[in-house]
Chain A
Amino acid sequence: MKADLYKLPELNKTKFENRGKEFKLGIPVTNAVTIGNSIAVGFGDGTVRIFSSGQSSEPIKAHKGIVLCMSKDGDNILTGGDDGCFLKISLDGKINEIGNFGTRWVDHVTANNGSLVCTSGNIVYLWMPNKKEPKLLEHESTIGGVAFDSKGRKLAVSRYGGVTLWKKDYSNKWTSSNLIWKGSHNKVIFSPDDRYLVTSMQENQLHFWRLKDKIDSAMSGYGAKIKSFAFVDDSKYLATSGANDAVCWPFDGDGPVGREPICLPYVGNKLVTFVEPFPNENAILTGLSDGSVFLSEIEKASNTIIIRSFTEFEVSAIAVTKDCSHLLIGDMGGNILWTSIWDEEKK
């Protein structure tokens, strides 16, 4: 047994913590999703809470065990859990069970224009708008992630050995093609301009495909698995976790091949565990393994400010309200900070 010698330094609270509201719930935060000016948070005890105007709703008992994944469909929350349920939850807490897969976990959920998707094992279940029965898209191995493009005509499904790219034709028929790269692929996202597809892998690297010509390449050099990554400022940068810096790859022009990423350093040499783009800005919110959160301008690292100081628990969720007035931070220790972003005089 090793004694834990790491002691938290005494640090004053940030102005965001001073003027914000802290909730010490003690339940690991697994997900957060913005719905208008509310933020829905999923927890490791299967509950969902809605935060708005600095208030938390009563816990909504959504799943038996863990809220594994979360997304939204319009003003509704979508969740998948280890109880095998795929749920649609309204902001006032009404639960509608869309699918139930028993002892098989619902690992991923997403939606686009009324089409709802969840995955369980190696199958994508796709509910087209107003259809009761889902369409089943089967894959050779367990699904690591799923994403719609902006128009909802393409569905990328990451798995062992690459990505299956499903396309919907105008008669609503889905056909698939394969993007191959050896290894196990986890989370997948499209760039907001739909030009690129990016996956994180079981190895400490990312992989991307440029869809018009299928050029692909790895982005490597990370010390840990990349659990969080997102496009920033439309599609100009891809911000990534998995290193002591927030590593931001350039995706403008011809993309990142042969170009260096911008690395945003943070004090303390902790691992970046979460990145969240700041809406409509060339900036990101970065969460670290010790619970601290920073706001950084990508092209001007000196403009980094600290939002939250240490909690000693890894940051597992960050979300910004639609009007960009408030943000929410959650960590694996169940600490939540809700705070306004702008100083009073700037309002």
Chain B
Amino acid sequence: MEETNKQVPVTVLTGFLGAGKTTLLNRILTEQHGKKYAVIVNEFGEQGIDNDLVVDADEEVFEMNNGCICCTVRGDLIRILSGLMKRADKLDAIIVETTGLADPAPVAQTFFVDQDVADRTKLDAIVTVADAVHLSTQLTDHHEAEEQIAFADVVLLNKIDLVDESGLEVVKERIKKINPFAKIINTTKCGVSLNEILNLDAFSLKRVLDVEPDFLTSDHDHEHDDDVTSLSFVSDTPLDMEKFQDWFSKLLQTKGQDILRTKGILDFTGESDRYVFQGVHMLMDASPMGKWPEGKERSSRLVFIGRNLETMNLKEGFENCKSA
């Protein structure tokens, strides 16, 4: 998924019905003068979308026939993105709006799995619009709401004028507990500068290096086993590459369904380059990303977002990868 200038960026807008996705979409379309967008929608006709090129899709999730049950893709996106790439006029960007109850994983995985899609488009970012008033209840009642927060690169916390300050802090803490990476932007009526949600290149490995997550203490408590949470690990001792690969590939093979997103920067013994990776369930994009910056301490950082993380002995597994 490394970039070339020929790839059209794709922004995915998720969020529950009524959170303000369509308001945001129309804001993007009206404020970006002179740009050509294609908008792929799944709840067409519900509210007017102000664009020439609106494509009506069915959210069709396909299991890949490769023996991996969590390797699902959006068949409709493959078809539509491949079609759009045959257009004579080049698009500046594509925006995919998902339905309120959609799991973002198959959308993200489509960009890893389908070569035609990966060659010509790139996943720019997942932007989740959340309703500050209702998010807490939605997170408790619907696992899809948790997944939408877990996968988000940006959470647009909308309608903040309708909650008080302490209420807002509670919601924000909840978001951070699920996803320490997501940038939370407070808005009313989705009033946000568009450069905070477009052209973020959030899925490139280069960006993994730029985003310092809010590392949390790992002594958080759980309300249900179902909860999506995150765990992060840091080590100043270099890791053994073979041990790490062995542990990590087995972990993803057996627990890939519960691990939603992973990101990491790794310091391997005997390697002068930083290794960077990011993944969605079992699918992984990884590469050496140049030398460690001079004068900066080398260290490995690893973040997991998922369910039942506490049952996976992640700390022990990670500790065992340290070079003796």
A residues contacting B by CB (< 8 A) are 1-2, 26-28, 30, 43-45, 65-66, 68, 82, 102-105, 107, 121-122, 141-142, 160, 182-184, 201-203, 224-225, 332, 334
With A2-B4, A66-B87 in contact, is A202–B79 under 8 Å at CB? no
In the bound assembly, the distance between CA atoms of A27 and B53 in angstroms comes to 19
Instruction: State whether the Cβ of B214 lies closer than 8 Å to any Cβ in chain A.
Output: no
With A27-B88, A184-B75, A225-B116 in contact, is A82–B55 under 8 Å at CB? yes
Residues of B within 8 A of A45 (CB): 87-89
In the bound assembly, the distance between CA atoms of A203 and B75 in angstroms comes to 12
In the bound assembly, the distance between CA atoms of A32 and B76 in angstroms comes to 24
Which of B61-69, B233-241, B246-254, B309-317 forms part of the interface with chain A?
B61-69
With A2-B4, A184-B75 in contact, is A122–B87 under 8 Å at CB? no
17 residue pairs from A and B, CB less than 8 Å apart: A2-B2, A27-B88, A44-B86, A82-B55, A103-B55, A104-B56, A105-B55, A160-B62, A160-B75, A182-B63, A183-B63, A183-B64, A184-B62, A202-B75, A202-B114, A225-B114, A332-B86
In the bound assembly, the distance between CA atoms of A28 and B79 in angstroms comes to 17
Instruction: State whether the Cβ of B73 lies closer than 8 Å to any Cβ in chain A.
Output: yes
**Which residue in chain A gives the minimum CB-CB distance to B53?**
A65
B50-64: CB near A (< 8 Å → 1, else 0) gives 000111101010111
Say whether B60 contacts A66, CB under 8 Å. no
With A1-B5, A65-B53 in contact, is A160–B88 under 8 Å at CB? no
In the bound assembly, the distance between CA atoms of A212 and B130 in angstroms comes to 56
B5-39: CB near A (< 8 Å → 1, else 0) gives 10000000000000000000000000000000000
Instruction: State whether the Cβ of B83 lies closer than 8 Å to any Cβ in chain A.
Output: yes
Say whether B89 contacts A103, CB under 8 Å. no
- Shortest C-beta distance, B41 to chain A (Å), equals 9
Please report the total number of B residues contacting A with Cβ < 8 Å. Answer: 31
With A1-B5, A224-B115 in contact, is A202–B78 under 8 Å at CB? yes
Instruction: State whether the Cβ of B258 lies closer than 8 Å to any Cβ in chain A.
Output: no
Instruction: State whether the Cβ of B3 lies closer than 8 Å to any Cβ in chain A.
Output: yes
- Shortest C-beta distance, B57 to chain A (Å), equals 9
Residues of A within 8 A of B83 (CB): 66, 68, 82, 105
Instruction: State whether the Cβ of B44 lies closer than 8 Å to any Cβ in chain A.
Output: yes
With A2-B4, A82-B55 in contact, is A66–B65 under 8 Å at CB? no
Interface SS majority for chain A: loop
Say whether A121 contacts B55, CB under 8 Å. no
Residues of A within 8 A of B53 (CB): 65
In the bound assembly, the distance between CA atoms of A332 and B53 in angstroms comes to 21
Q: Please list the 5 inter-chain residue pairs (A to B) with the smallest Cβ-Cβ separation, ordered nearest first.
A: A183-B65, A45-B88, A103-B56, A44-B86, A44-B88
- Shortest C-beta distance, B74 to chain A (Å), equals 11
Say whether A28 contacts B86, CB under 8 Å. yes
Residues of A within 8 A of B5 (CB): 1
Residues of B within 8 A of A82 (CB): 55, 83-84
**Which residue in chain A gives the minimum CB-CB distance to B116?**
A225
Residues of B within 8 A of A201 (CB): 65
Residues of B within 8 A of A182 (CB): 63, 65
Say whether B56 contacts A202, CB under 8 Å. no
With A44-B87, A45-B87, A160-B75 in contact, is A202–B115 under 8 Å at CB? no
Residues of A within 8 A of B44 (CB): 103
With A28-B86, A82-B83 in contact, is A202–B55 under 8 Å at CB? no
In the bound assembly, the distance between CA atoms of A107 and B58 in angstroms comes to 14
Say whether A225 contacts B75, CB under 8 Å. no
**Which residue in chain A gives the minimum CB-CB distance to B3?**
A1
B78-118: CB near A (< 8 Å → 1, else 0) gives 11100110111100000000000000000000000011100
Of listed A26, A82, A201, residue having the most chain B CB within 10 A: A82
In the bound assembly, the distance between CA atoms of A118 and B73 in angstroms comes to 25
Residues of A within 8 A of B114 (CB): 202, 225
Residues of B within 8 A of A28 (CB): 86-88
Say whether B86 contacts A66, CB under 8 Å. yes
Residues of A within 8 A of B54 (CB): 103
Say whether A142 contacts B65, CB under 8 Å. no
Say whether A141 contacts B60, CB under 8 Å. yes
